[in-house]
Chain A
Amino acid sequence: AQTVTQSQPEMSVQEAETVTLSCTYDTSESDYYLFWYKQPPSRQMILVIRQEAYKQQNATENRFSVNFQKAAKSFSLKISDSQLGDAAMYFCAYMSYGQNFVFGPGTRLSVLP
């Protein structure tokens, strides 16, 4: 069964600095999708970024980018120019065709002013 691991339960970053959240996953599939979701204090889950495994180019969305290492089964999220509104729980998620999503346990990010 696929599993998603986030080894950092909590992280903190100074406002305007850069932070990287780690995620590793286990799968025997070659085609799949990876996601980062953000859950702010309101608890609404918001999609931050997605990556198709067949694409070698790392996805970027404004200040958010990923480092996708398929062979290492690693999918880290980099947040540049951190803002107070980035404070949230961040969940890494995996999905392969015909399967349900698998979420990691989450990383709580604090942004210090």
Chain B
Amino acid sequence: SQTIHQWPATLVQPVGSPLSLECTVEGTSNPNLYWYRQAAGRGLQLLFYSVGIGQISSEVPQNLSASRPQDRQFILSSKKLLLSDSGFYLCAGRREDRNEQFFGPGTRLTVL
């Protein structure tokens, strides 16, 4: 079965510090991958998606970036975090055979 792993689970960072969140996928090859952000009690905001290695599309201009160095690895980064970057970050993959999205457990980021 297809599974997404994310780490860390929780992160507290000071304003202006760098960020690296990692997402890895098991059980499928060449999946479409997605980064979402969710503010407390709110819906999902699509940040980036990738259809393959090195291919990144940005949905929202901001100080975050994404990279896909390997087929099953998707990384969310920032050079300098802002207070507004706080939130819950979800990585998702797409099951092409059923046109569904499956999600990782998420990373709770607090920027102080």
Contacts and interface: CB of A to CB of B under 8 A. Distances in A.
B43 A43 contact: no
Contacts of A101: 34, 46, 101
A44 B49 contact: no
Count chain A CB atoms within 10 A of each CB in B44, B90, B106 and give the residue with the most.
B44
Contact of B90 (A45, A47, A104, A105): A45
Contacts of B100: 33, 35, 47, 50
Nearest to A105: B43
Interface residues of B, number: 21
A8 to B, nearest CB: 13
Interface in A38-77: 42-47, 50
Interface in B72-112: 88, 90, 92, 98-103, 105-106, 108
- Is the contact region of chain A dominated by helix, strand, or loop, or is it mixed? strand
A25 interface: no
Given A100-B49, A103-B43, A43 B102 contact: no
Size class of the A contact interface (CB-based, 8 Å):
20 to 34
A97 B100 CA distance: 11
Given A44-B105, A44-B106, A103-B43, A95 B99 contact: yes
Given A43-B88, A44-B106, A45-B90, A105 B99 contact: no
Nearest to A50: B100
Interface of A: 33, 35, 42-47, 50, 89, 91, 93, 95, 100-101, 103-106, 108
Interface of B: 34, 38, 41-44, 46, 49, 59, 88, 90, 92, 98-103, 105-106, 108
Top 4 nearest A-B pairs (CB, nearest first) are A45-B103, A105-B43, A103-B44, A33-B99
Given A44-B106, A45-B90, A101-B46, 14 more contacts: A35-B101, A43-B88, A43-B108, A44-B105, A45-B103, A46-B103, A47-B100, A47-B102, A50-B98, A50-B100, A89-B41, A100-B59, A103-B44, A105-B42
